[in-house]
Structure 1
Amino acid sequence: MSDETRGIVEELLRRMAEGDHDRTAELFAEPVDWRLAWPAEGHPAVPWIRPRSGRAEVADHFRSLEAHHVPELNGTSVTRILVDGADAVVLGEIAQTVRDGGVSYTSPFALHLTVEDGLVTRFHIYEDSLTVARALSAQA
């Protein structure tokens, strides 16, 4: 099971890095347990931070991220992938540049994924949401 989990996680990360939003979404179950670490009410400067439950919403999440950032300046990196059965944790650093205003920011992240029957059933990401919101609000 760990090998299958690792393979799906690596494929997910590859598709995310390539900006292939629809193919990325194909790796998610219907419904998906989706959570980002942010205030429950979200933040108006960060419209992609909201509940998601299905593939179309997952694709929309990644499209919204791309629309608000300069993809060519994305320096996000993965430092470690830990796998235990169906669960995986991806550790790394987000490095993005905001499209409007050119503000750059970095944030460590941890991504908890669960893979069942070849699909991602859990996507919980933890990041420094305050740094992200400030950058998008041009307060950084």
Structure 2
Amino acid sequence: MSDTTRSVAQGWFTSLTSGDIDTALTYLSPDVEFINYTPVPGYNDDMKWIGTFHGRDAALAGFKIFVETCEVRQEEVVHLAVDGDEAFGVIHEISVVRETGQEFEIEFIQRLTIRDGLIVRWKSYTDPSPIIRAIRGENGAP
């Protein structure tokens, strides 16, 4: 099972970090559950792409909002861990919010659950503070 999990996760992350969204989507189950952080009103709800999405089309719609809002400049997997049907990828990303021109740099974790060669659950974790600052046009200087 771990070999299949690793293979699917590697294919997913390679596609995603190279910007090949069409290939990345082939790794998602048609009924995938995508949990892209939890919206907290007044805190991180500036990030219009976050929330829980059910199904490949809904996940793609949420991802599309992110791509319309932010330009990814650099993205790479810095660590991949696999345990049974779960894979955890640590990703380093540098992006720019299109509206403000503000850059942000984050590390985030994607936790994938893989069954029958497809991702059935995809959950993302990060500290959203740098993203929120960039969305609001705050440069972070003291």
TM-score, normalising length: structure 1: 0.85
Displacement of 1:91:
1.1
| 1:15–1:92 Cα change, 3 Å | closer
**Could you give the per-residue CA deviations for residues 10-53 of structure 1, whole angstroms, max 9, x where no partner exists?**
11112212333343223212322322234344744311112211
Secondary structure of the structure 2 residue equivalent to 1:63: helix
- State the TM-score, normalizing by the size of structure 2: 0.84
* Secondary structure, aligned partner of 1:12: helix
Unmatched runs of 5 consecutive residues or more in structure 1: none
What amino acid does structure 2 have at the position aligned with 1:54? Answer: G
Determine what percentage of the aligned residue pairs are the same residue.
Answer: 25
CA gap 1:52/1:31 in 2 versus in 1, 3 angstroms: same
Report if the CA contact (8 A) 1:21-1:63 is conserved. Answer: no
More strand by share: 2
- Tell me the equivalent position of 1:67: 68
Matches within 5 A, 1:70-85: 70-71=71-72, 74-85=73-84
Provide the aligned C-alpha RMSD in A.
Answer: 1.9
* Worse overlay, 18-27 or 94-103: 18-27
**What is the letter of the counterpart of residue 18 of structure 1?**
S
Contact 1:115 1:122 in 2 (8 A): yes
Structure 1 residues 60-112: Cα deviation after superposition (integer angstroms, max 9, x where no partner)? 222222211224xx212211100111111111322111112211111121111
- Consecutive unaligned residues of structure 2, counting only runs of 5 or more, are none
Give the match for residue 32 of structure 1. Answer: 32
Q: Provide closer, same or farther for how the CA distance between residues 38 and 138 of structure 1 changes in structure 2, counting only shifts above 3 A.
A: farther
Greater displacement, 2-11 / 32-41: 32-41
In the aligned structure 2, how far is the partner of 1:62 from the partner of 1:22? 12
Q: Is the partner of 1:83 in helix, strand or coil?
A: strand
The answer for the alignment partner of 2:11 in structure 1 is 11
Contact 2:87–2:112 (Cα < 8 Å) also in 1: yes
Q: Give me the whole-angstrom Cα distance separating, in 2, the residues matched to 1:32 and 1:39.
A: 19
Q: Kindly tell me the number of residue pairs found equivalent between the two proteins.
A: 138
